[in-house]
Chains A and B, each alone.
Chain A
């Protein structure tokens, strides 16, 4: 039973990171009906930028570990938001009127481009995050071993998700994003500037993905230029699991996938962990393509 709860907390942590990345996929898909294959690589870039900022600016020495990480997260979010908007401008915007599948190929190209740019800049070998930022102590809660880093990841991701949820539900821009996701044409007739909505989506999604990258660096200590693709595919699985285009769905899907994966690794086989996640992807596409919380889009599948 202890193993079960231990794996549950592991799954919850990794799942909350999946959820953050999945939000980027689901928001872009909601508005543009495009799988942004490059999103996983934006997540990688977030991890690498975080590493560069940490080592070159010594944030945690100057500001202390917790304040330092908050400043770091904010800086990465800002940089990734700019990068996301640039990506949209360069690779997707010229293809708005083209067939949907051209945009998919462009997204694949963007993914290859970004991944290899990271490799050319940082090298092909995996890089280590400095280990001394977060205290390595682990808390003992009811006999469960929970490192501080994991709690930090959980807290930060839940704050971000709650903030996004409120933003989407309560603000004018959030309402516009929801409207554009339901029916772009009708939204345009209601006076919503859809291009502006798309810009917002490409600012918010990559910013959250970038934070997720930093968190993976802090949690595992090792980052690699190829990690975005497997992580991205799993996050996309999470988005489909929750119902693509559905923002709370991505959060639920991410956490659920994290837990399924952690329990699968414990009770089935750790070597098949990734295969379990992709199996879930295919299964959900066959059985319920609209996802757990999705209700529309039946005609698009």
Chain B
């Protein structure tokens, strides 16, 4: 246990000082890794803990990003104040979308979420309600401001994004060990047994969908603030696939696994820019090979352990 703590401590220190040794380009790569880490951690709640196959997570990300962008450009509300608005919009949207399809099992749910994600993308391209800017998207989103300090350069964003990653890790870590997290794990392992033990499965499934979506919505807000331009193509099906692959291949249900997955799937392709065209091909191949040889992912979660107090009597009786 202590060894793990040292490793995490060392990684945290390394991440904290990284911008001092890297140029703007690599800091920006780390920023993208951070945003994907937030997204993948939020998807991990749905896919990893509850075992619900969601291949439309980019839709919630998009709703968050567009909510922030529209409210910021139309009404001039500071982008950081819109974090709760993005979360609320994405969460509500998830509630509306997920309510009728939540009872579908496995691959059917997967297909329904793909369909929902595509409908969102098409709606954005078609300039729904006349506010999404069509295929060009929305530009001129304001930079985030913290106490008169404008976050503008990559290394400034770096601390902002990774602070949010830290908050995300803390939040999901707490959630994992809560009653809610355990209920999700139970219904993933055996839905019928979970229902038999008094867990309202629909309620918990919806809860995790809404929570995961709300968190992805906040990632959307951060993405909009970072890019200052958003367009429907940033939220297409392959974005959902990348998030999904990070969770499954990193180790579904495991926070360190998902973080490692974000580094591998967003960071590695940047290191091998020469193979940029082939990266998705290798990505697909890796998915097949991983499923055959290591279904549980690179860093699967360790089973829950509870300290058991061994009394003198128990030791004697063996």
Binding site for B on A (CB under 8 A): 34-35, 90-91, 94-95, 98-106, 108-117, 119-120, 229, 233, 236-237, 240, 269, 271-272, 274-275, 278-279, 281-282, 285-286, 289, 300-301
Contacts and interface: CB of A to CB of B under 8 A. Distances in A.
7 tightest A-B CB contacts, nearest first? A109-B287, A112-B284, A113-B284, A116-B281, A278-B115, A109-B288, A106-B291
A21 to B, nearest CB: 15
B108 interface: yes
B100 interface: yes
B148 interface: no
A93 to B, nearest CB: 10
Contacts of A98: 291, 295
Nearest to B55: A108
Interface string B274-318: 000110110111111001100100000000000000000000000
Contacts of A105: 245, 248, 287, 291
Contact of B107 (A100, A109, A112): A100
Given A113-B281, A274-B118, A301-B104, 12 more contacts: A91-B288, A105-B287, A108-B241, A108-B245, A108-B287, A120-B281, A233-B111, A271-B126, A275-B119, A279-B119, A281-B112, A301-B108
Name the interface size band of chain B: 35 or more
Contacts of A275: 118-119, 122-123, 126
Contacts of B122: 271-272, 274-275, 278
Contacts of B106: 100-101, 104
B65 interface: no
B119 A112 contact: no
Interface of B: 51, 53, 55, 100-101, 104-108, 110-112, 114-116, 118-119, 122-123, 125-126, 237, 241, 244-245, 248, 277-278, 280-281, 283-288, 291-292, 295
Contact of A35 (B105, B111, B248, B288): B111
B284 A278 contact: no
Given A120-B277, A279-B119, A300-B105, A112 B241 contact: yes
Contacts of A99: 295
B292 A104 contact: no
A281 B115 CA distance: 7
B278 A113 contact: no
A197 B241 CA distance: 31
Contacts of A229: 237
Given A104-B107, A271-B126, A275-B122, A233 B114 contact: yes
Contacts of B107: 34-35, 100-101, 104
A130 to B, nearest CB: 27
B118 A112 contact: no
Contacts of A115: 280, 284
A259 B55 CA distance: 27
A237 B101 CA distance: 15
A240 to B, nearest CB: 8
Contacts of B292: 94-95, 106
A248 B116 CA distance: 27
Contacts of A237: 115
B104 A289 contact: yes
A286 to B, nearest CB: 5
A278 B101 contact: no
Given A113-B281, A229-B237, A282-B112, A272 B126 contact: yes
B191 to A, nearest CB: 13
Contacts of B114: 233
B284 A110 contact: yes
B281 A112 contact: yes
Given A116-B280, A285-B111, A102 B237 contact: no
Contact of A285 (B108, B123, B126, B248): B108
Contacts of B283: 109, 112
A113 B290 CA distance: 14
B241 A281 contact: no
20 contacts: A35-B110, A98-B295, A103-B291, A104-B53, A104-B106, A106-B291, A109-B287, A110-B284, A111-B284, A112-B283, A112-B284, A120-B281, A236-B111, A272-B126, A274-B118, A275-B119, A278-B119, A281-B111, A286-B100, A289-B104
